Amino acid sequence: MKSRFYDNGLNFECTGCGKCCEYSDAEVYLTESDVDRICNYLTITLKTFIKTYCRTVKGKPVLKSNKTHCIFLNDKRCKIYPVRPDQCRTFPFWGEILKSKSRWDYVGETCEGINQGKLYTFEEIRNAMKSKRDVPGIEDE
């Protein structure tokens, strides 16, 4: 089997710094279960959620953002952190980031949780990558 730089796992622990939520043109795609969880958490209807927090890209719902950050980022904190979308939940275990050790370390220059804290096993990493790939709208990595 092909060997990967994360065969023995990787350390990651989110500090909640919010840097990965600072973007203006990135797209956070949503699964149906993301939408259900967030609506329940905010106690709002699907219609209100779509109207207030979503825009459409390639026919799929994505979270709105303002000029500098995701609509749910407030004072450097995610307002829906316990129920955040799978795309956010699986960061940084994304195929595009795990293509190489240098790519992983490069992202680690911005994300202070990378190479710190909890050890994720190879299996946990692959499961997170799969969940990210399953989000509708995500291109193959």
- Kindly list the residues in this chain that would bind ligand SF4 in the complex (CB under 6 A): 14-21, 28, 63, 70, 72-73, 78, 80, 84-85, 88, 91, 111-113
Output the smallest distance, CB 20 to ligand SF4, in A. Answer: 3
Which one, 45 or 68, has the nearer CB to ligand SF4? 68
Distinct helix (H) and strand (E) counts, the chain:
5, 6
Which one, 5 or 23, has the nearer CB to ligand SF4? 23
Which one, 1 or 102, has the nearer CB to ligand SF4? 102
Place of tokens 């890209």: 57
Output the smallest distance, CB 114 to ligand SF4, in A. Answer: 7
Quick check: helix, strand or coil at residue 74? strand
Output the smallest distance, CB 116 to ligand SF4, in A. Answer: 8
The whole-angstrom separation of Cα 141 and Cα 112 is 23
Output the smallest distance, CB 100 to ligand SF4, in A. Answer: 19
The whole-angstrom separation of Cα 135 and Cα 123 is 19
Helices (H), the chain: 32-42, 46-53, 86-89, 101-108, 122-133
Which one, 77 or 99, has the nearer CB to ligand SF4? 77
The whole-angstrom separation of Cα 72 and Cα 84 is 9
